[in-house]
Chain A
Amino acid sequence: MTGIDIRGVTKRFDLDGRSLTALDSIDLSVPEGSFAALIGPSGCGKSTLLRLIADVFAPSEGAIAVGGRPPKAARLNHEIGFVFQAATLLPWRTVRENVALPIEIAGVTPRRSPEALIRLVGLQGFEDAKPAQLSGGMQQRVAIARALVLEPKVLLMDEPFGALDEITRQRMNVELLRIWRESGTTAILVTHTISEAVFMADRVHVLSANPGRVAGVVDVDLPRPRSIDLMKSPRFNALENSVRQVLFDDDTEAESTPERAHG
């Protein structure tokens, strides 16, 4: 049981003494071994939600269960892999040393060596390179290898390819799907690109902003393994349009509500 269950989660932040609701009564569940995408406009709290699951923050209300246990237990048990938008590699460490960082910190002997993970993300031959010598896409591969090295039960990704160009991003998406299938983890991907969400996920959760709420859910019944060609199919476009519909509905509603209007 390593599915993720989110029940009635609200998150408020204190900003200059004012309380700001970032997430409002979120209900969401991700079955074990599945791939979920969170999509929404900026300010919808999708990154915050990801950090609540990773126990970076605690929810103000509600409960989160990772494999039936609180996130903190999962984190201390090294069951969570996290990939940030910026690769966040330590520049003074080589690729191998960066991938091995979680092993050093946990003080465990993993089943798969850092070298095996580096092969998995296709960086064999770059083990001794420093991050500054790698391209943005390669750096993000290292970050993914690092997130997977302890075979986490949950892989959380916060717009991991957001800083990459479109061509590299699509190539990385295909790679990520292959890596995910091989690792068998439960994955959550935060993104703001509709095609990426549909291409990657079994289920797309659409969030609306101010405060963040679940606006709708789109199930993606496309067969796996998926390839780039899939994007040309009418079914893919129909699913994209469903997601767009949920996003857009929310948007027009926002425009008509005076308190949310802005210049």
Chain B
Amino acid sequence: MTSPVDTTVDTPDWRALPTRGQRAEARLAAFWRFISRVALGVGILVALWGGAIALFDVPIFVAPGPLDTWQAFVEQGDRLFGALGFTLTGVAIGLALAVAIALSLGVIFTLSAPASRAFMPLVIGLRTVPVLAVAPLLIMIFGRGQGTTVATVVIVGFFPIMVNAMRGFRSVSPTVHELFHVAGATWWQLLIKARIPFALPFFFTGLRVATTSALLSAMLAEWLSGAPGIGRLIYDALGYRDMPLMFAAVALSMATAFTIFGLATALERRLAR
């Protein structure tokens, strides 16, 4: 304030701050609103789907109705969930590896300025290219098993985690650095007490981005490689025209994708604060 006489008087906030209980209540209400909106959306979608099938009298070998799909879902549940389990295992292993590699490299780059100057532009440049394009190559290298799935998830998940973590490590403000320097902190203390806490929100953002694209990557890899996951199951069903099974598999994979997305987003919101 540069005015000679400051007549600005603090006034009470017009809206009283919400209490903790009110906040939790609001969050719960928002959650139910979200759930009801999703249920409504799914309901509309299923109704449209069933209506269209009935209206145009679509034969079952072209596209099944919701009931036929549900029946396939019930009858071949073991097969569907087995395939989904295979895929999700690959996703989980791949993400774990991606986090480990990305964080190790992130720490190295943060500690070594020359390495960071030399390799970070390449890493950032690679982010603009569709890394999923290397999937056929990974099949050639890792063969037709789960290895390809894992490798694909690693390569797709690595970049967002690494770049966001680096951004996070760098987000420590110069004044905090000075504070630690004045306090005589070691680089290890700086890492544990400043860099990592500051980097966490960024890291969770990267993890969210990686997680949500991981399922698509894994399914794509399986479909190309022929590994027995849900991605392959969809195309096998298409191949021998078992349309109810295919639709059930599609619905299951979409539900899984939305659940993963929802969980990852919620987790990011919870932990990034």
Contact = CB atoms under 8 A, between A and B. Distances in A.
A238 to B, nearest CB: 15
Given A165-B2, A166-B2, A262 B11 contact: yes
Contacts of B8: 41-42, 192
Contacts of B4: 166, 193, 195
Most buried by A among B3, B6, B9, B14: B9
B2 A39 contact: no
A119 interface: no
Interface string B1-42: 011111111111011000000000000000000000000000
B233 to A, nearest CB: 50
A15 B15 contact: yes
A91 B2 CA distance: 27
B180 to A, nearest CB: 33
Contact of A209 (B2, B3, B6, B11): B11
A43 B14 CA distance: 9
B14 A247 contact: no
A21 to B, nearest CB: 10
A251 interface: yes
B11 A42 contact: yes
Contact of B7 (A16, A18, A43, A247): A247
B33 to A, nearest CB: 17
Interface residues of A, number: 26
A41 B9 contact: yes
B12 A42 contact: no
A244 B3 CA distance: 14
A20 B14 contact: yes
Given A15-B14, A15-B15, A16-B15, A244 B9 contact: no
A194 interface: yes
A210 interface: yes
B5 A210 contact: no
Contacts of A39: 7
Question: How many B residues are at the interface, by size bracket?
Answer: 10 to 19
Contacts of B12: 210, 260, 262
Contact of B3 (A42, A193, A240): A193
Contacts of B6: 192
B5 A251 contact: no
Contacts of B11: 41-43, 209-210, 262
A260 B9 CA distance: 12
Nearest to A20: B14
A166 B14 contact: no
B5 A262 contact: no
Contacts of B9: 41-42, 209, 251, 254
Interface string A194-207: 11100000000000
A66 B86 CA distance: 75
Contacts of A260: 12
Given A165-B2, A166-B2, A41 B7 contact: yes
A166 B8 CA distance: 16
A193 B7 contact: yes
A192 B3 contact: yes
Interface in A220-263: 240, 244, 247, 251, 254, 260, 262
A240 B7 CA distance: 12
A41 B11 CA distance: 8
Nearest to A240: B5
Contacts of A192: 3, 6-8
A192 B5 CA distance: 9
B24 to A, nearest CB: 18
A192 B10 CA distance: 13
A169 B9 CA distance: 21
Given A192-B3, A195-B3, 6 more contacts: A15-B14, A41-B7, A166-B2, A166-B3, A169-B2, A247-B7
The 8 A-B pairs of least Cβ separation, nearest first, read A262-B12, A41-B9, A43-B11, A193-B3, A166-B2, A194-B5, A42-B8, A209-B11
